[in-house]
Structure 1
Amino acid sequence: MKTNLRTEDLTCPSCIKKIETGISKKDGVSKVDVKFNLNKVTVEHDDRVTGEDIKSTIEQLGYPVKSVKTSS
């Protein structure tokens, strides 16, 4: 599965590291790609994690999420 999220307030490379580290810790996540200049996060994962789980993690790290789209 692949989940694409649009975020806000990504302003620097340290934001990338913070999000990548936080999401990568979740069971079922295989790849995290953060584009801070586009405010976009793409996560490849299996069914042990949902788009809402990923959204919640990003928001707990302090970054608002504007949209979530998951595809098979």
Structure 2
Amino acid sequence: MKKGVFSLEPLSCPTCIKKIESTLSKMDGVQEVKVLFNSNKVRTQFDEEVVSADKIQETIVKLGYPVVSQKVS
């Protein structure tokens, strides 16, 4: 299991949280998703054999939230 933290441009509304969490939690391989509204970060736990951090980032961007940086451990 890998942990990923994606830093986003500032989020404008709490609805953004539900949109991101709902979409990412439906992805195969994503075990956990938490959006931190005040720090503009998305924390994930995922199975790197099923889904890549780049694919998660791509999904966040497609939802309309630019990713500033990505950290995977």
Report the TM-score when normalising by structure 2.
0.92
Instruction: Provide runs of 4+ in structure 1 moved above 6 Å.
Output: none
Give identity over the alignment, percent. 51
Once superposed, what is the RMSD of the aligned Cα atoms? 0.8
- How many pairs are equivalent? 71
Structure 2 stretches of 5 or more lacking a match? none
| CA deviation string 1:44-67 (max 9, x = no partner) | 011211110111000000000000
Q: Which residue of 2 aligns with 1:41?
A: 42
Q: Distance in 1 between matches of 2:17 and 2:38?
A: 10
Report matched runs for 1:1-72 at 5 Å: 1-47=2-48, 48-71=50-73
Report the TM-score when normalising by structure 1.
0.93
Q: Secondary structure at the match of 1:17?
A: helix
Structure 1 stretches of 5 or more lacking a match? none
C-alpha displacement at 1:9, in angstroms? 3.5
Q: Distance in 1 between matches of 2:37 and 2:43?
A: 11
